[in-house]
Amino acid sequence: MNLRGKHVAILTEKQYEDLELWYPYYRLKEAHADVFLVGPEADETYSSKHGYPAKAQKGIASVHAADIDAVIVPGGFSPDYMRTNAKTVKLVKECTEQGKTVAAICHGGWMLCSAHVLKGKRATSYVAIKDDMINAGAHWIDEEVVRDGNIITSRKPQDLPSFMRAILESLGEARHGSK
């Protein structure tokens, strides 16, 4: 798939889940998307749960929903830090409202809860935050990937192949104008 011209932000913060950040990053690079890591501050390095560094190429203040085609929220403990940053929550909310692809895996669903974008939506997440997702208005489903319009969710690293297929499909549809 050729996603040349597509701009994808992957959110990062301390304690992210390694595979849930790097698998999408490199898969999107392989598809020729312009993919970049967005943290609270540009050029800061954020460590994963296992100590692997991720350097933010952009700071959240410089990223706007109108300028990107998708935002991906990896899991780990990082979404708990991300959702305390109003600008990060605003980006997820605005991307959802603008019909951009919004994808969250594992604990990434916490960002969708904080952005108040789950009411009436089908979604999944890591089972430990199932109640949070339901309390935010989601119809929680235990499946490896759930897509409801522009929102794509998955449960855990083992779901990454299905998660990425859904993201690539969504971005491909947006490329061809059929969303």
- Residue identified by tokens 């991300």 is 82
Helix axes 160-175, 18-30, angle to 10 degrees: 40
The pTM score is 0.96
CATH number of 7-175: 3.40.50.880
**How many helices (H) and strands (E) in the chain?**
6, 11
Per-residue pLDDT at 6 exceeds 50: yes
Residues in contact with 77: Cβ distance below 8 Å, sequence separation at least 6, in sequence order: 14, 15, 16, 49, 107
Q: What residues act catalytically?
A: 106-107
pLDDT in tens, 16-53: 999 999 999 999 999 999 999 999 999 999 999 999 99
Task: Report d(CA 18, CA 63) in Å as an integer.
Answer: 23
Q: Domains of the chain: which residue ranges?
A: 7-175
pLDDT in tens, 144-167: 999 999 999 999 999 999 999 999
pLDDT in tens, 86-132: 999 999 999 999 999 999 999 999 999 999 999 999 999 999 999 99
- Dump the DSSP string for 76-143: BTHHHHHTT-HHHHHHHHHHHHTT-EEEEEGGGHHHHHHTT--TT-EE---GGGHHHHHHTT-EE--S
pLDDT band at 174 (very low <50, low <70, confident <90, very high): low
Per-residue pLDDT at 61 exceeds 80: yes
